[in-house]
Amino acid sequence: MTDSHPYLDLSEDILAARNDRKPIVALESTIISHGMPYPKNVETALEVEATVRKHGGVPATIAILNGRLKAGLSVEEIEQLGRAGTAITKVSRRDIPFVVARRHHGATTVAATMFIAHKAGIKVFGTGGIGGVHRDAPTTMDISADLPELAQTDVAVVSAGAKSILDLSLTLEYLETHGVPVIGYRTSEFPAFFTRQSGLEVNYRLDSPDAIAAAMRAKWEMGLSGGLLVANPIPEAAALDKKWIDVVIDQAISEAAGRGITGKEITPFLLSRIEHLSKGKSLEANIQLVLNNVVLATKIAKAYQQLLAE
């Protein structure tokens, strides 16, 4: 069904959840079309949605279908995205008007998912890892659109830090400069996606969803626009050995440089190569950290909704 926004469609589940003031968790679709092979991508997307429901939330997988911004997809629509895979356009903020105008399909990145979630009135988004400042950024200026989106869009993003293919130190510097608070959930150290440690500190450690929800409300009620990044470490049982995965990542980055791969194609290439070089271990770790993040995102959404009801 169509919401008041002329380009936005909300599913019946999302409309009902908004009317009943139930906690809603936004979910991205790039991980479906560009993050994993079929049918693992569809299985994972449905498992992620089921995990949100199990913990008392309503999942809102976000994408663009036939030029319509969609919050809340059917099983058939998720299957459609998964089967088409990389034939679906990977959509960041800059791409949205062109995909909409041409009435095409689009799989939304963190930035585009945040934008659509905000338009749909959804305040919490659970994902794997955000994009950030690439390691060669001092010469290429390759900085993910996820970062400026966090600086301007009022959505709390729960992730296992930034993808470890990036320059994590520069990523945190960018977020600090643009006023984006980085919250460590039960940790003072910024997680590095596949591993729990990076050697870098977060801005604030908060140990409960209630504390995070209180910070969200205070920030936005004071008129401090922009998002919050909640860094939730990968579960210990799923974490990869840091020295080993760093070697794998370095090899994948070297291969990308040798092939001249840049721009929005580099992240899917690197993740695919890392999966191959790690013999699938990185993919399984990725799935586990996403599930872990959406559990926390659901708890935060519930706590935030309770605060608004007081």
The residue whose two tokens read 């950024």 is: 137
| 90 is known as an active-site residue | no
**Catalytic-labelled residue, pool 70, 90, 123, 163:** 163
Q: Is residue 149 part of a domain?
A: yes
Mean pLDDT of 291-306: 98
Q: Is residue 259 part of a domain?
A: no
- Apex 96 CA angle, 93 and 97, nearest 5: 125
Structure tokens at 238: 């799923």
pTM of the model: 0.94
Q: Whole-angstrom Cα distance, residue 213 to residue 230?
A: 11
- Apex 240 CA angle, 251 and 258, nearest 5: 10
* 27: containing domain: 8-237+287-309
% of the chain residues with pLDDT over 90 = 87
Does position 3 have pLDDT exceeding 90, yes or no?
A: no
Neighbours of 184 (CB within 10 A): 22
Q: Is residue 254 part of a domain?
A: no
Longest dimension (CA), the chain: 57
| Host H or E run for residue 61 | strand 58-65
Collapse the DSSP code of 104 into the 3-class scheme (helix H, G, I; strand E, B; otherwise coil) and give the result: coil
Collapse the DSSP code of 249 into the 3-class scheme (helix H, G, I; strand E, B; otherwise coil) and give the result: helix
Does position 167 have pLDDT exceeding 70, yes or no?
A: yes
Collapse the DSSP code of 124 into the 3-class scheme (helix H, G, I; strand E, B; otherwise coil) and give the result: strand
Does position 207 have pLDDT exceeding 60, yes or no?
A: yes
Amino acid at the residue 260 = G
Q: Is residue 243 part of a domain?
A: no
Q: Do residues 70 and 89 make contact, with C-beta atoms less than 8 angstroms apart? A: no
Q: Is residue 28 part of a domain?
A: yes
Number of domains in the chain: 1
| 28 is known as an active-site residue | yes
Bigger pLDDT: 261 vs 48? 48
Render pLDDT for 9-38 as a digit per residue (tens, 0 to 9): 999 999 999 999 999 999 999 999 998 889
- Apex 291 CA angle, 285 and 295, nearest 5: 145
For residue 134, what is the domain's CATH number?
A: 3.40.1790.10
Mean pLDDT of 291-298: 98
Mean pLDDT of 228-247: 96
Q: Whole-angstrom Cα distance, residue 41 to residue 82?
A: 6
Q: Beta 106-108 vs 204-206: how paired, if at all? A: unpaired
Render pLDDT for 56-99 as a digit per residue (tens, 0 to 9): 999 999 999 999 999 999 999 999 999 999 999 999 999 999 99
Does position 301 have pLDDT exceeding 80, yes or no?
A: yes
Please tell me the predicted confidence (pLDDT) of residue 17.
97
